Copies of this chain bind each other. A is one copy, B any other.
Amino acid sequence: MEEKRNQDGLTEQEFLANYKVQDYERPSVTVDMLLFTIDDIVTTRRKKEKVLKVLLIKRKNHPFIEQWAIPGGFVDIDESIEHAAYRELKEETNIDHVYMEQLYTWGEVNRDPRMRVISTSYLALVPKEDLKPKAGDDAKEVSWFYIKKEKIEDKDNEESWILSLKKEGGEEEIRYLVTNKFEKNGVLLVTDTMVTPCNDNKEFLAFDHSQILNMALERLKNKIEYTPIAFNLVPKEFTLSQLQQVYETILGKKLFPANFRKKIKPMVEETQLKTIGQAHRPSRLYKYKTNYEREDLCM
C-alpha cells in the first residue's frame, strides 16, 4: 500500500497522531429503551384479558421531576450505542436473549431543557413469564403501565386515537390524544403524528417520550404483520390461543381462530405437551420453528 499524503504532506499515521479533536460544542447522546411485555389483567367482570405493558421509571430530579419517563441513559464514550441500549435493558430485566431493535433517533434541538441531547430509542420485547420480579431498587421507582389505544371519531376528517397508560396496581393514568396530520415529503403525503396531552390530564410523560412511545406502538403493529416478532412475547412453549391473543392485543382487533392458525402453522412445530386442569378441552403447546425464515429464504 503506497503512503498517501494530504495537503499538509502528512501520511495517515502522522495525521492521526497529530489529530486534535476540535473543541466545538457537542450534543450529549443517550439511548432510550422501550421495554414491552404482554400480561394478563382481570377485568371488572372477572374475565382475564391480555394487555400490552411498557416499563416506565419515575424521574427523581428536574426537569420533569416526579413524572414518568422511558428508561434510558448516556452512551459512554467507549461503548457502542447498541451496547448502551443493551446495558439499559439489563438494568431493567436481568434476563438474556431479549429481542431488541433500533427504533428511531430523536434530534430536535430543545428536547431536553438542560442541554442539547440526541437520543436513539430501542424497542425490546420480553415474555412476561421470563421477568423475574426485580429486587426493589430503592433509589428508583419503576413500574409497568398498561397501554390502551382506542380510535375515536374523526374530528375534521382526521384520524385520532386516545392513548392511555395506567399504572400496574395503581391509580395513576396518563392520557394523550394522537392525531395524524398529513404532510408532504417529496411527492408523497406522509403522516406526521401529533401526540398531545388530554386536557383532563394530571400526569404526563417526560420530554418527548409520548411521541417515542407512540412510534414504538406503530412499529410493533406494523412488524407483527410481516415478521415473527410476536414470538418474543410468549414463553418457549405456548398455545396458539395465547399467541393469537398477543396478535389481537397489538393489532387491537379480534381475529378468526381458523384463519390465524392457518397463517401461523408454518412457523411453529408441535410439542407433545398439552395444557391440563382447565374446564375445557386441553390445548396443544407449540414451539417456534427457529429455522422458519431460513427455510423460507433457501427456496
Binding site for B on A (CB under 8 A): 4, 6-7, 10-12, 15-16, 19, 21, 24-29, 60-63, 65-66, 74-75, 77-82, 84, 97-102, 104-105, 107-109, 113-116, 118, 120, 125, 157, 159, 180, 182, 184-189, 227-229, 231-232, 236, 288, 290-294, 297-298
Given A157-B298, A185-B99, A65-B16 contact (CB < 8 Å): no
The answer to whether A81 and B62 touch across the interface, beta carbons within 8 angstroms, is no
The answer to whether B186 and A98 touch across the interface, beta carbons within 8 angstroms, is yes
Given A62-B6, A62-B10, A102-B105, A97-B29 contact (CB < 8 Å): no
Complex: A118 Cα to B62 Cα, angstroms? 27
| Residues of the B chain whose Cβ atoms lie less than 8 Å from the Cβ of A66 | 4
The answer to whether B105 and A229 touch across the interface, beta carbons within 8 angstroms, is no
Complex: A163 Cα to B113 Cα, angstroms? 45
Which residue of B11, B19, B182, B184 contacts A294 across the interface (Cβ within 8 Å)?
A: B182
The answer to whether A231 and B118 touch across the interface, beta carbons within 8 angstroms, is no
Give the most central of A7, A99, A116: most B CB within 10 Å.
A116
Offer 17 A-B interface pairs, CB within 8 angstroms, sorted by A.
A7-B60, A12-B62, A15-B63, A25-B77, A26-B27, A26-B28, A81-B107, A81-B118, A82-B107, A84-B107, A97-B187, A99-B186, A100-B185, A101-B185, A107-B120, A182-B293, A189-B292
CB-CB nearest in chain B for A31:
B107
The answer to whether A105 and B81 touch across the interface, beta carbons within 8 angstroms, is yes
Complex: A229 Cα to B187 Cα, angstroms? 8
The answer to whether B16 and A114 touch across the interface, beta carbons within 8 angstroms, is yes
CB-CB nearest in chain B for A100:
B185
Given A62-B6, A63-B12, A77-B24, A19-B99 contact (CB < 8 Å): no
The answer to whether B105 and A187 touch across the interface, beta carbons within 8 angstroms, is no
Complex: A14 Cα to B132 Cα, angstroms? 40
| Residues of the B chain whose Cβ atoms lie less than 8 Å from the Cβ of A10 | 62
What's the minimum C-beta distance from A113 to chain B, rounded to whole angstroms?
6
